Amino acid sequence: MCSGKCTRYIGHSLVWFAVLCIVANILLYFPNGETKYAYDDHLSRFVWFFAGIVGGGLLILLPAFVFIGLEEDDCCGCSCGRDNYGKRCTMLSSIMVALIGIAGSGYCVIVAALGLAEGPKCSDSHGVWNYTFANTDGQYLLEPATWSQCYEPKNIVEWNVTLFSLLLTFGGTEFILCLIQVINGVLGGICGYCCSHQQITTAILSLEATKPASYLSFLLAAAVITLP
C-alpha cells in the first residue's frame, strides 16, 4: 500500500476511535444516566483526568485530521523532481504529529488502567462514600461477587469497569495506529529518497548509451535536483 494512502486510512480510523473515547469519557460522569453524583463529587477521581476527552480525543483528532489532509500522491512520490522532496518531507513531518497522538493515547491508556485498578467511588452498607476496592490491587475485577459491596450508585462497578475498559481498548488501538504511522512515515521518506535516486541512475544509464551531450545535460539537471 502507498504510504500516503496508508496515512489517510489511519487518519480516518483515528477519528472514529477519538469520538468513541470522548463518548465513553462523558458517560463516566453520568452513572445510570444521573447527574447528581457528578455534582456531589461521588465519582472516581480518575474520571476528572479527562483521559478520553483530552488524551484519547482531542490529542488524537489533531493528527487524524492532518493525516486525512495529506495530498493525493503516487507510491513514494516517485517523480524525478523537487515535488518528490516535498512528498518525502510531508511523510517525515507526519511522524512528529503521530508522536502527539502517541502521547495522547498513552495518557488515555494509563489513566484508564489506574481507574480500573482503583475501582469506583461508591457508598457502602453504612452509607459511607469511599473507594471500596482501592486496596485490592485490581483483584476485584476477577471477583464479581464482591461488587455488591457498592450500594450506590446502583451497578456503579459494572458501569466503571465497562467504560474504563473501553477507554483502555480504544486508547491502546490509537497508540498502535500512531506507532504504525511513525513507521509508515519513516518508510515513506526513505522510499521517496530511494525512488528518486534510482530513477536518476536509470536515466543516466539510458542516456549514457545514446548521446553524450544529453548525458552531460542530464547530469547537470540531476545535480540541481538533488541539492538540499
Residue 121 φ/ψ, nearest 5 degrees: -90, 125
Mean pLDDT of 111-130: 95
| 70 in Cβ contact with 213 (< 8 Å) | no
Mean pLDDT of 32-50: 94
In this structure, the chain runs to a length of: 228
Query: Following DSSP, what letter does each residue of 27-81 receive, concatenated?
Result: HTTSGGG-SHHHHTT-S-GGGGG-IIIIIIIIHHHHHHHHHHTSPP--GGG--SS
Question: CA 32 to CA 38: how far, in whole Å?
Answer: 12
Mean pLDDT of 34-38: 93
In the predicted structure, residue 205 carries a pLDDT above the cut 90: no
The residues with which 152 forms a beta bridge, in sequence order, are 123
Q: Which helix (H) or strand (E) holds 109?
A: helix 82-118
Place of cell 508522536: 99
pLDDT digits (tens, 9 = 90+) for 172-202: 999 999 999 999 888 876 765 455 444 545 5
In the predicted structure, residue 76 carries a pLDDT above the cut 60: no
Give the pLDDT band of residue 93 (cuts 50, 70, 90).
Answer: confident
The residues with which 130 forms a beta bridge, in sequence order, are 122
* Whole-number pLDDT of residue 87: 60
* Residue 156, amino acid: I
Q: Which of 73-82, 155-164, 179-188, 214-223 has the highest mean pLDDT?
A: 155-164
In the predicted structure, residue 77 carries a pLDDT above the cut 80: no
Question: In this predicted model, which residue has the larger pLDDT, 177 or 77?
Answer: 177
* Residue 161, amino acid: V
Neighbouring C-beta atoms of residue 74, cutoff 10 Å: 13
Tell me what the pLDDT averaged over the chain comes to. Answer: 82
Contacts of 64 (CB under 8 A, 6+ apart): 10, 11, 12, 14, 15, 18, 101
pTM: 0.79
pLDDT digits (tens, 9 = 90+) for 129-174: 999 999 999 999 999 999 999 999 999 999 999 999 999 999 999 9
Mean pLDDT of 44-52: 96
